Amino acid sequence: MTGPGDGSRPTVAVWKFTSCDGCQLQLVDCAEGVLATGGGPFRIAHFTELTPVSERGPYDLSLVEGSVTTSDEIERIHRIRSMSHTLVTIGTCATAGGIQALRNLSDAGELAGAAYPRPELLATLATSTPASAHVHVDVELPGCPIECHQLVEVLAAHLAGRRPVVPDHAVCHECKAAGTVCVLVAGGTPCLGPVTRAGCGARCPAVGRGCFGCFGPLEGAPAGALTRALARSGTPPADTAGLLAAFGAGVPVPPPHGRPAAGGRADR
């Protein structure tokens, strides 16, 4: 991966959209030696959380945190994409819409009216969407927040000019690799491991707690089969819907009987 900074240290820019800043804090904590302000293999061109330095693009690498929730953010993500040789979305907000995507299931106007005395002053979209809904994204790095080792892998891959190794399988694979007993099959504990992207090390099932999907939905995962398994374990349908919606509100949930829901598709 070469780009506009060829011949010197590659430039990296970090951008905040609608988010809690948690993934940016991970950048500061995990990549201190890589994204150092005074040295290191990268030169920071823009990172408001860390430094007042803000250079004009183009940039070799842009890291985008947060979901797109305003019309201004739509314009900004297109501008950042045009200035970036490589664009990486970091965190589940940026890769799947995040917790704030729960607005996608409700009337955003009603929610704003219940929370703010002057909702007419807000300039927000009715939906929360990942950056990939608006521009081409080169690499998606999920997590709430992202994991240190995956972040370092993405940065190292950029320096080496190769494609980063990012898990594209389910959390269940990590449980199997670690020898963790399935909390859903063995204990009937609701678990989203079969439909959640791996990368966390399956730390919740390792302590007997079901995965709650913080790494976002896995594309093509058997959501219909999971809803049926949860129903057999005694999980009420409303609880299942709530679990699946928390970090994947934009993903249609197939009903337990396996027939396609409105806008969705039953797994085969």
* Short-list 80, 89, 74, CA closest to 125: 74
Q: Tell me what pLDDT residue 251 has.
A: 45
Please give the Cα distance from 245 to 251 (Å, whole number).
8
Q: Tell me what pLDDT residue 102 has.
A: 85
Q: Tell me what pLDDT residue 108 has.
A: 79
* Short-list 108, 98, 111, 183, CA closest to 143: 98
- The packing angle between helices 22-30 and 148-160, to 10°, is 70
CB of 184 closer than 8 Å to CB of 190? yes
Q: Which domains does the chain have, with CATH numbers?
A: 11-160 (3.40.50.700), 171-246 (no CATH)
- Report the percent of the chain where pLDDT is more than 70: 87
* Short-list 262, 251, 244, CA closest to 129: 251
pTM: 0.84
Please give the Cα distance from 173 to 198 (Å, whole number).
8
Q: Tell me what pLDDT residue 253 has.
A: 42
Element (H, E) at 15: strand 11-16
Supply angle C-alpha 186, 192, 195, rounded to 5.
120
The separation between CA 73 and the C-alpha centre of its own chain, rounded to angstroms, equals 17
* Short-list 189, 194, 184, CA closest to 217: 194
For residue 84, the cross-strand partners are 59
CA dihedral sign of residues 215, 174, 150, 135: negative
CB of 148 closer than 8 Å to CB of 29? yes
Element (H, E) at 14: strand 11-16
What are the residue ranges in the chain where pLDDT is below 50?
A: 1-3, 5-6, 251-268
One-letter amino acid of 186: A
Q: Tell me what pLDDT residue 3 has.
A: 46
Please give the Cα distance from 125 to 179 (Å, whole number).
44
pLDDT tens digits for 99-154? 888 888 888 778 788 888 888 888 888 889 999 999 999 999 999 999 988 888 99
